[in-house]
């Protein structure tokens, strides 16, 4: 009986952790937090590629991808189909960069080109849905949601 209780408790704790990890952005604050994670991790991508520390770059790309996936949910919840499409495009381009960085021998030029394409998807979304603040950070444009 004690063993059953221990296993049940462990399962409940594991499932609670999974739910906490799986939560996606639904509020503007959660979206902004996800975008800050993208920005921070993206800096590591460029630095890793430039210094040929491809494992580090790949770790940063995974963080960018996870944050973008969290942020995508915000657009789904707010029924912004074009923003969802932009998010999917950004995630696809990040996945392509992941593939390049996973090659046995990484082509640095290809990695930089793929990173630039990722940046292009970010720029497109920022033009449509984001506004740059005086402190050079970004916020959701007023009236978007």
Q: Which helix (H) or strand (E) holds 5?
A: helix 2-22
Q: How many CA atoms lie within 13 A of 37 on its CB side?
A: 19
pLDDT of res. 17: 40
The pTM is what?
0.81
Of 88, 90, 82, nearest to 116 by C-alpha is 90
- Tens of pLDDT, residues 107-145: 999 999 999 999 999 999 999 999 999 998 899 999 988
Q: Which residues contact 55 (CB under 8 A, 6 or more apart)?
A: 48
Angle at 103 between CA 98 and CA 39, to 5 degrees: 25
Q: How confident is the model at residue 6 (pLDDT cuts 50, 70, 90)?
A: very low
Cα separation, 44 vs 49, in Å, equals 8
Task: List all residues 6 or more positions away from 3 whose beta carbon is below 8 Å from its beta carbon.
Answer: none
Q: Provide the percentage of residues in the chain whose pLDDT is more than 90.
A: 80
Structure tokens of 29? 């604050």
């Amino acid at each position: 009986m004690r063993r059953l209780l221990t296993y049940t408790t462990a399962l409940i704790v594991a499932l609670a952790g999974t739910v906490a990890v799986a939560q996606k952005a639904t509020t503007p604050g959660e979206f902004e937090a996800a975008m800050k994670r993208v920005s921070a991790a993206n800096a590591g991508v460029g630095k890793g590629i430039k210094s040929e520390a491809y494992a580090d770059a790949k770790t940063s790309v995974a963080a960018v991808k996870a944050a973008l996936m969290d942020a995508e949910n915000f657009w789904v919840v707010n029924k912004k189909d074009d923003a969802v499409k932009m998010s999917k495009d950004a995630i696809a381009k990040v996945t392509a960069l992941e593939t390049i960085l996973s090659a046995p021998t990484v082509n640095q030029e290809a990695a930089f080109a793929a990173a630039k394409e990722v940046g292009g998807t970010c720029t497109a979304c920022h033009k449509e849905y984001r506004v740059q603040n005086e402190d050079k950070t970004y916020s959701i444009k007023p009236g978007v949601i």
